[in-house]
Amino acid sequence: MFFLLGVQTQAQNYLYPFKSGQKYGYIDKMGRQMIAPSFEAANGFYDGLALVVKDSKTGYINTSGKFVIAPTYDKGYDFSEQIAVVKQADQWLYLDKTGKVILQTNDKIYPFSDGLGRVKKSKTHFVFYDKTGKQVLEIKDKRVFNFNDGLAKFDINSEWGFIDKKGEVAIAAQFSRCYDFKEGLASFKDYSTGKWGYIDKTGKVVIEPKFENTYYFSDGFALVKKGTFANAQHGFIDKTGKLVIDYQFKGAFHFKEGLASVSNDKEDKWGYIDKTGKVLIARQFEYPSDFSHELSLVKTGKFENAQEAYINKKGDFVWKSIKKTD
């Protein structure tokens, strides 16, 4: 089971969730146990707190393993921008890091992004709140998503565009599909060709639609795809649209902390490349994940024989789960 690792200032102080038997605890960057396995589930640390499950209830701990928000909720999500989403019975709540309720509602709520929290009242009715719980924007006529880089994508009659934080249309609905802005660019699908390209925040096409699929920019590069599923190949472009790492990978993920996981052999094993395309960590893993705080959680082996491990950027194992035996 994989968990996304959270955001914290110093990698050396960061703790990583691990599983021992049926319980989860935390290790440090060197693989030393820092919080004993005692949780039924455990996520990474976000904003200094980690979501854990104890006795089937969700709460949040600090890096000392102490509960800051008691495990009383039926469901929860990681902290985002100092606010967490939790659910209790039929109620959704925003909590601050002390556990104080910022907002409580029957309507579905989503994690904070770009300073705003989104509440869904219906398929085309959304309300946005600031971190004090004050309503700052209401959209009643379109399906709208979280803000990123100051803009939020929307869908109206299967055409996609972007609004600003005043609720005004910043980029008219004109795309077959689009994704969120990241690092100043957003990918879009052209109606006439069915190909994907990129626009800037003014709506100007800066990379012409010529890709079978595209993904958001991360670490200055974007993953792009050519070919259909059976013969698909992936490569990476820069913000000018230049192919900086050629199409050659059967599978690939975004660059994070200077490395990206890739796969291109018949056994479907994964390894890691740097931003020149050089293989730094040989393909040997069945399941990869992004590097975060200098470590990556990987799996070797499949199904009941799978073994979890954390590796560093040299490919060294800093922790391994106990391998299952018959």
Domain ranges of the chain: 1-79, 81-141
- Output the pLDDT for position 306: 85
| Count of CB atoms situated within 10 Å of the CB of 307 | 14
Question: What is the per-residue pLDDT across 12-25, written as a single tens digit (0 to 9) for each?
Answer: 689 999 999 999 99
Element (H, E) at 310: strand 307-311
Specify burial of residue 259 (Cβ count, 10 A radius: 0-12, 13-18, 19+).
buried
What's the pLDDT tens digit per position in 56-67? 999 999 999 999
What does the pLDDT read at residue 264? 86
pLDDT of residue 7: 37
Residue type, 48: G
Per-residue DSSP letter, 56:
T
pLDDT (0 to 100) of residue 3: 39
Positions in the chain whose pLDDT score sits under 50: 1-9, 326
Query: What's the rounded Cα separation, in Å, for the pair 161 and 199?
Result: 11
Query: What gap in Å lies between CA 99 and CA 238, rounded to an integer?
Result: 42
The 8 Å CB, 24+ separation contacts for 59-66 are: 60/84, 60/99, 61/35, 63/13, 63/15, 63/26, 63/34, 64/35, 65/26, 65/34, 65/35, 65/36
**How far, in whole angstroms, is CA 166 from its chain's centroid?**
26
CATH architecture observed for domain 81-141: Beta Barrel (2.40)
For position 1, what pLDDT does the model report? 35
